[in-house]
Amino acid sequence: MRNEDSYVALGLKTWNAQIDRADKLFGRLSSEEILREIAPGRNRLLYLWGHLTAVHDAMLPLLSLGERLHPEFDVAFVLNPDKSRADIPSHEQVLQAWNVVNVELSRGFEKMSWSDWIQRHSAVSEEDFAKDASRNRFAILLSRTNHLSYHLGQAVLGLK
């Protein structure tokens, strides 16, 4: 194993650990519990889960792993705040999308070599990447892992 693989493996291990936490946290909730707010007047658990799903879905094209599977989640969970729209995806739909999106990412990650990870991500131009090589796919992995942790810290407040 090359040294480079060690760093990539650690980035993926940290990502997987947070995904597991999210699976356990959200996966055990009933359809009533998922509608709880994390604090009075704050986002509901369903909104956070849908938000995470949408952000992970957007990683597919960002990392050149494929097209988005659920672009329709953005209107409900990214572009608008919680409780501003009646027609958001259901508990069942979010659960299924969450699982499918993360499996698809996981499959994509398996095919990526250490050198793929330090290539530019698709939202940065070749010109900008030439100026700042830190705008690469590994940076996306680390920042999205932290994004997940950030919202897990909130979601745990909505339990019990």
Q: Rounded to 5 degrees, what are φ and ψ at 120?
A: -65, 150
Among 67, 86, 134, 160, binds a second copy (CB under 8 A): 134
Q: Give the nearest distance from C-beta 114 to a second copy in angstroms.
A: 7
CA end-to-end span of the chain: 44
Of 35 and 75, CB closest to a second copy: 35
Q: Give the nearest distance from C-beta 87 to a second copy in angstroms.
A: 27
Of 14 and 93, CB closest to a second copy: 14
Q: Give the nearest distance from C-beta 84 to a second copy in angstroms.
A: 19
10 Å CB burial of residue 150 (0-12, 13-18, 19+) is exposed
| Contact between 11 and a second copy per CB under 8 A | yes
What residue ranges bind a second copy (CB under 8 A)?
3-4, 6-11, 13-14, 17-18, 38-40, 42, 114-115, 118, 133-134, 136, 138-139, 142-143, 145-147, 149-154, 157
